[in-house]
Structure 1
Amino acid sequence: MTDSTGVPLSTEWGMIRDGAGREFRVLKIGKLHLAEATLKLFAPEGDFHARMERVRNMSVNDDDVVLLTFPKSGTHWIWEVLNMLISGKAEYVPWTPDRDFLEIEGEKIEQIPSPKIIITHYSINDLPKDVFKKRVKIVHVSRNPKSVAVSMYHHMKAERLLGDIFPETFSEFLPLFLDEENYMMSYWFSYIQDVETFCRENPENPVFNIKYEEIKKNQHIEIKRLAQFLEIETSDSLVDEIISKCEISKLKTVRGDEKDGGRPAMYRKGIVSDWKNWFTVADNEAFDKVYEEKMSSSKFTFEY
């Protein structure tokens, strides 16, 4: 497999370490570090490398929409909003987000009728080539990284995405988010920089960058802006209904029941500043140091 520039991606097993020195075996594919438990979820057939290659070459339709997010950045919430905007009705669709997830369903998503929402945590550079060829609309949702780190800690712990062993505290988990050599899944800093670089270098491709915190603060305004980007006519009353239906408490009830195929770990608090309850002073200083180093040239700003 090659990256978006045609350079072959190396694939190897390696070890990463949390703040207490615990070791976790991961498969390194390009900018991804995937634990075995994660691989079983994302590539049940056993070959994530081949899955990514097939995804890069799959077909999409002009009226599809890509929902691009780093994990724990409001993915499931905005998926619900998009479905309601596209259908013109404040009603839950009768399927779960997993059906639309590239990492889970791979190229099978080709078979879903359009217009459809394609959810992914892949880097923008690893999307299907057809997305760029057909200039499919991309909705990129980002969230302040301190909240992302806390939400990821709880999610990975609940879903056992590192297997049976897990960091005992958030402080021990944090290096798996901050350390460029020891990160888990994707490296947030590279992920966001890749989006920013892509948008700067490819202005002809329609990308709507929206912040989790901005939507939380001004839901009506931001959802109307989203509808405008998607070229969808909507009304104030419909937007208000969508906001009500997509409250985290309601989504927990509708989507969080395991017996109905739900994923309880996907819906925790859905708030902006819970990270303050988990970061120690030392954690915050370590985080800010890495952020200043990695994002010094970025124009992205976040509300904490």
Structure 2
Amino acid sequence: MAGRYKSDLKWSDVTPKRDYMNRRQLMAGAGALALGSIAGPAMASLGARKSNYGRGLELNTYEDITSYNNFYEFGTGKDDAKNNAGRLTTDPWSITVDGMVDKPGKYDLDDLTSGISLEERIYRFRCVEAWSMVVPWVGFELSDLLARVGVQSSAKYVAFETLVRPDEMIGQRRPVLDWPYREGLTLNEAMHPLTIMATGLYDEPIPNQNGAPIRLVVPWKYGFKSIKSIVRITLTDTRPPISWEMANPREYGFFSNVNPNVDHPRWSQATERKIGGGLFSKRVPTLMFNGYESEVAGLYAGMDLTKNF
């Protein structure tokens, strides 16, 4: 496959980072669309799809987003990922795609995403990493990648695995979880347009501590569902095991949708704090499906969301 298109410009040359940080512009909607175009002549000719996703949301700072992370492969502290992830080698990078697909194989990341990168958009998503935050991810829909490899009709789930490299990912030297980190979605969840593969945030490539070079983002679910540093994607007809459910099924279910009506066994999930406001920042009501109820509730029609948590 041909290599990925690389423009002379970054999308920040069209929409500078300072504009993203201007709350008045966000509230006015001047750049507060979830999906905006990437800079460059090829992107300009495509025409960006626009959406109300993220309108009126105040973004967290780059420092917030990259300094307070759950990434146990680098340690269990919120700042361990930033402190320890710099040693991770992310180039070259390959992803094995297997299971119920027409074109299984081990793909170089550039080859796997060749062409798809031209469809990249800016996604302003509420995300739950540890506390809640609003992140301007740069990425593309997972469904575009799955279409490239050909999903077979018998597939019902998409499973993911994170890299195992304990010489660089020092948290893997301890059996905190059963490595590799595993996650999974139903195929319907995976094909939803809000389910994206992120390769950057703001006008920067995605930092190591946030899941470089490519990670999943599922904004209506708790953050541990959005698996980082992906090296395997498997299509299957059986529900795949996921790391936190394997470790503690009483507290962590397969779906893990943000649901203020289902308490964690050790705390209430009815309210939340936004990262960046400090320990004593005001708690606000947690939104069903993290604020994306109108977009994704139909995926769970007829399902008992207290049982399937």
Calculate the TM-score normalised by the size of structure 2. 0.27
Instruction: Indicate the structure whose relative CO is greater, using CA pairs within 8 Å and at least 6 residues apart.
Output: 1
User: Higher helix fraction: Structure 1 or Structure 2?
Assistant: 1
User: Higher strand fraction: Structure 1 or Structure 2?
Assistant: 2
